[in-house]
């Protein structure tokens, strides 16, 4: 039986409190691994614990929460404590392979902790792209440093989430690489499909300038002018006060108060409930890698209308299992929403196609199988 250590800092002790992103991606993957004969130890450097805590995820998967340190800086904690923590975990578990689920400054533990161990990484995001979006100088510098460190410390074996990711990272040092998307759990595929649309749009994720909620609100406003009435449920919190003021001012200015509902950060059960009620996921991001919200919505049998950026065009077939649009052309998503309005037949057709494609590409068991096969390739 393969023995794999997976590293991911700051995994919440309460897994129900996960808000998405790489933490959610890992938990979904673990659900897939649980269906195979493979032994997994997740090592999470955590500020929530003072002594190591071990949580059983399944019969062969255990999460080890290890105290990161108390310096107040993740980077300093990794440099100061990372080597001893990882060497202890490796000596105890004796893994065949170490799988990073986080890049950036966490990579600094690699050359000092296990220089001879076989390693790989899943690239979930791009530090230099993050640096462009940061407004505070301190944050920009941190992400720029991460962007410089990543190629230097990157393992020779890489899992990309998309073809788009391969264009962002291209190195001659790579021994093996593969494209495997994030996994989606069974519970999203189990959501029953609606019999009739009631024109409900859904927004999932942090509310910030990159996710570009203002574009969606412009769409709502233009639709109302044509007496096309959608409602929008926003599941996620604002990233900063300034953007929240901008959004709320726009809502008041355009008289959208009755058409948009903010739910804040919610747990997964709440997300599933809202997905069941919704008809269309609207994603108007300026930059994305491979959004889990799209994969989850497709699995739930929902129509996805998304901006043509990053890895999004690889997730579904335009006009067959979802719809793409250019942020510079607001008329296209406007026309699509007009066509979908009260259109039960079209929504059911696209939804069924989306769920079928999602099962093939994103179901956690299928993704776990692809990942295990890649492990075998590296080890053999």
Tens-digit pLDDT profile for residues 227-254: 999 999 999 999 889 999 999 999 999 9
Domains 2-183+363-379 and 189-362 alike in fold = yes
Backbone angles phi, psi at 189, to 5 degrees: -75, -20
The whole-number pLDDT of residue 3 equals 96
Tens-digit pLDDT profile for residues 270-291: 999 999 999 999 999 998 888 9
Sign, Cα dihedral of 290, 261, 272, 348: negative
- What are the extents of the domains in the chain? 2-183+363-379, 189-362
How far is the C-alpha of 367 from the C-alpha of 365, rounded, in Å? 6
Q: What is the mean pLDDT of the chain?
A: 89
β-bridge pairing 61-67 and 53-58: antiparallel
**Other CB atoms within 10 Å distance of the CB of residue 141:** 12
| 2-183+363-379, CATH topology level | Rossmann fold (3.40.50)
Tens-digit pLDDT profile for residues 91-102: 999 999 999 987
How far is the C-alpha of 261 from the C-alpha of 279, rounded, in Å? 15
Given a contact cutoff of 8 angstroms between Cβ atoms, the answer to whether 182 and 292 are in contact is yes
First vs last C-alpha separation in the chain: 14
Tens-digit pLDDT profile for residues 210-231: 999 999 999 999 999 999 999 9
Q: Whole-prediction pTM value?
A: 0.88
SS3 content of the chain, % helix, strand, coil (to 5): 45, 20, 35
Architecture of domain 189-362: 3-Layer(aba) Sandwich (3.40)
How far is the C-alpha of 345 from the C-alpha of 351, rounded, in Å? 10
Using the predicted structure, report yes or no on whether residue 136 has a pLDDT greater than 80.
no
How far is the C-alpha of 59 from the C-alpha of 47, rounded, in Å? 26
Tens-digit pLDDT profile for residues 330-354: 999 999 999 999 999 999 999 999 9
Given a contact cutoff of 8 angstroms between Cβ atoms, the answer to whether 304 and 280 are in contact is yes
The whole-number pLDDT of residue 137 equals 67
> Confidence class of residue 151 from pLDDT cuts 50, 70 and 90?
low
How far is the C-alpha of 96 from the C-alpha of 94, rounded, in Å? 7
């Amino acid at each position: 039986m393969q023995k794999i250590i997976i590293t991911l800092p700051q995994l919440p002790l309460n897994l129900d409190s996960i808000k998405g992103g790489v933490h959610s991606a890992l938990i979904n993957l673990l659900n897939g691994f649980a269906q195979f004969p493979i032994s997994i130890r997740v090592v999470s450097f955590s500020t929530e614990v003072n002594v190591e805590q071990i949580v059983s995820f399944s019969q062969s998967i255990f999460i080890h929460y290890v105290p990161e340190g108390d310096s107040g800086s993740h980077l300093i904690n990794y440099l100061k404590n990372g080597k001893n923590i990882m060497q202890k975990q490796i000596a105890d578990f004796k893994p065949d392979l170490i799988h990073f689920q986080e890049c950036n400054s966490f990579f600094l533990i690699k050359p000092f902790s296990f220089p001879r161990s076989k390693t790989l990484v899943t690239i979930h995001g791009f530090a230099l792209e993050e640096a462009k979006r940061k407004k505070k100088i301190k944050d920009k510098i941190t992400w720029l440093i991460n962007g410089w460190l990543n190629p230097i410390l990157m393992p020779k074996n890489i899992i990309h989430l998309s073809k788009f990711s391969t264009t962002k990272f291209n190195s001659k040092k790579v021994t093996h690489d593969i494209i495997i998307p994030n996994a989606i759990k069974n519970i999203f595929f189990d959501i029953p499909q609606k019999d009739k649309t009631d024109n409900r749009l859904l927004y999932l994720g942090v509310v910030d300038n990159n996710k570009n909620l203002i574009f969606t609100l412009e769409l709502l406003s233009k639709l109302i002018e044509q007496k096309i009435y959608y409602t929008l449920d926003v599941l996620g919190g604002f990233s900063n006060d300034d953007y929240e003021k901008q959004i709320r001012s726009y809502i008041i200015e355009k008289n959208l108060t009755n058409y948009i509902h903010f739910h804040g950060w919610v747990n997964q059960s709440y997300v599933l409930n809202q997905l069941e009620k919704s008809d269309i996921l609207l994603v108007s991001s300026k930059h994305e890698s491979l959004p889990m919200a799209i994969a989850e919505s497709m699995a739930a049998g929902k129509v996805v209308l998304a901006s043509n950026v990053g890895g999004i065009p690889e997730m579904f077939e335009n006009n067959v299992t979802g719809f793409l649009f250019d942020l510079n052309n607001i008329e296209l998503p406007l026309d699509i929403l007009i066509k979908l309005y009260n259109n039960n037949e079209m929504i059911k057709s696209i939804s069924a196609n989306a769920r079928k494609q999602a099962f093939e590409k994103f179901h956690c068991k299928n993704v776990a199988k692809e990942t295990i096969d890649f492990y075998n390739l590296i080890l053999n």
